[in-house]
Structure 1
Amino acid sequence: MKLSHRPARTADIPAVCCFPQGPEELFYMFPKATYPLTPAQLSEAIAQRSCSTVVEGDGVVLAFANFYKAERDGVCALGNVVVAPGARGRGVARYLVQSMIALAREEFVAREIWVSCFNHNTAGLLLYPQLGFVPFGIEERQAPDGGRVALVQMKQVLRYD
């Protein structure tokens, strides 16, 4: 499947809202949201963030992400990362993150890109280091059920040779 990416459009929002398959997945993607994810919740997040992007394959939206922090010559922090259930395990997340790294370079000449990943998100914890991210911190957070979770913070220093 040939993948491409583009800026997210209003028409993409309902599809993206269907990607999280339960409260736990929504918590990984968007900790402040309430399950089920609604177009209003996602639209509000998009309005406060930069470079909301979708990945398409065969004309179908397969993934979404944006930056919750985007500083010129500074840090871009990746957020709201989610992949459609039927597209998982097929390289879509890898393509999405690589596309967002390229956007951080091209749009912001960022020095670093950060991503945070909850300890139960095994797929994310395995993917990000493969793409050059290294852990630099862990914060305690509260899960939707009230339990303790660890938020692993990772970063990649962007080189411009």
Structure 2
Amino acid sequence: MPTALQHRPAIAADLDEVISFPQSAEELFFCYPKAAWPLDVGQLAAAMAERRESTVVTLDGKVAGFANFYQWQHGEFCALGNLMVAPWARGQGVAQYLLEVLEGIARDQYKAPVMKVSCFNANTGGLLLYTRLGYRPAAIVERRASDGARIALVQLEKSL
């Protein structure tokens, strides 16, 4: 993993960069299903306002990743949301680093013994990443894609 990876809380000035990360309506659906394509600062700011621990990862000083908790229950669990990686930074350990950072926050600040993630069945990269990092399927629930098609949401968990 590059030593150039660092993290910090996300700030309003990061949003212009982060909204450029999803490269298609499908990618946006994977990381923020309620958002409308194309992602804009208002939508992301609204998500940040109702979520916790919005965090960015920088690679060589440039914002390269973003994620937060969309659910949290102190002493019980945290659920990862809005995981996005800049196209230029993909395949360089950004998502793994970001997950490790948020797992640490969940464990240390929220005393959460479990981290939860949800990943759509069509998001092969996400499913492979999560399982490689120790997440195990806990449930599969039916959801609807933006075109109304049936889609499976795989809910995964990892003991912290």
TM-score by length of 2: 0.96
Structure 1: gaps spanning 5 or more residues: none
> What does residue 86 of structure 1 align with?
88
Instruction: Determine helix, strand or coil for the equivalent of 1:79.
Output: strand
Instruction: State the distance in 1 between where 2:147 and 2:92 align.
Output: 30
Structure 2: gaps spanning 5 or more residues: none
Instruction: Determine helix, strand or coil for the equivalent of 1:95.
Output: helix
> What does residue 126 of structure 2 align with?
124
> What does residue 135 of structure 2 align with?
133
Instruction: Determine helix, strand or coil for the equivalent of 1:109.
Output: coil
**What is the CA distance between 1:136 and its match in structure 2?**
0.5
> What does residue 40 of structure 1 align with?
42
> What does residue 154 of structure 1 align with?
156
**What is the CA distance between 1:77 and its match in structure 2?**
0.3
> What does residue 104 of structure 1 align with?
106
Instruction: State the distance in 2 between where 1:50 and 1:107 align.
Output: 12
Instruction: State the distance in 2 between where 1:106 and 1:6 align.
Output: 16
> What does residue 71 of structure 1 align with?
73
> What does residue 28 of structure 2 align with?
26
Overall identity of the aligned pairs, in %: 53
> What does residue 7 of structure 1 align with?
9
Instruction: Determine helix, strand or coil for the equivalent of 2:35.
Output: coil
Instruction: State the distance in 2 between where 1:90 and 1:57 align.
Output: 9
TM-score by length of 1: 0.96
Letter of the structure 1 residue corresponding to residue 17 of structure 2 = A
**What is the CA distance between 1:144 and its match in structure 2?**
1.2
